[in-house]
């Protein structure tokens, strides 16, 4: 397995990771030096497979590596429609539960009004 695929696999499994940790991972998994690993990472950034995330609020600021997870527009549309349908289904279910909860209350009121 080539190192780029291993980096993508690692990021897929563990998410955003410090650049230094990815470099160390690559050095241990391959015969690359840390300088060569930096080149591999830069090449992957240029190819837009991964990107840098700089956490400037940390002291000192840290550079993390993250996968580019751009979904094709048709997949995004399908996911959005599914989410909308799910929300509508939840609203319908809540309406049914509310109506079901109102039935016993209505019967109790009717029973009390007949006995009074």
Mean pLDDT in consecutive groups of 10 residues from the start of the chain, 116 residues: 83 87 90 92 90 84 82 65 73 80 81 73
pLDDT at 53 (0 to 100) = 86
H or E element, residue 23: helix 19-29
Dihedral (CA of 30, 15, 12, 54) sign? negative
As a whole number of angstroms, the distance between CA 112 and CA 107 comes to 9
pLDDT at 77 (0 to 100) = 67
Task: Map residue 110 onto helix, strand or coil.
Answer: helix
Lookup result for tokens 């997949």: 75
Residue ranges of the domains in the chain?
3-67, 71-116
Lookup result for tokens 């959005």: 80
Q: Return the structure tokens found at 86.
A: 């799910």
Task: Map residue 48 onto helix, strand or coil.
Answer: coil
Contact 66, 53 (CB under 8 A): yes
**The domain made up of 3-67 is a member of CATH 1.10.220:** no
As a whole number of angstroms, the distance between CA 114 and CA 66 comes to 69
């Amino acid at each position: 397995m080539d190192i780029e695929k291993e980096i993508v696999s690692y990021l897929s499994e563990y998410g955003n990771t410090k650049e230094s940790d990815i470099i160390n991972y690559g050095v241990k998994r391959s015969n690359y030096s840390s300088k060569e690993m930096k080149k591999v990472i830069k090449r992957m950034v240029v190819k837009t497979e991964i990107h840098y995330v700089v956490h400037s609020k940390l002291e000192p600021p840290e550079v993390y590596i993250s996968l580019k997870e751009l979904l094709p527009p048709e997949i995004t549309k399908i996911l959005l429609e599914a989410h909308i349908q799910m929300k509508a289904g939840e609203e319908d279910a809540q309406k049914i539960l509310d109506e079901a909860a109102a039935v016993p209350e209505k019967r109790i009121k009717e029973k009390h009004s007949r006995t009074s």
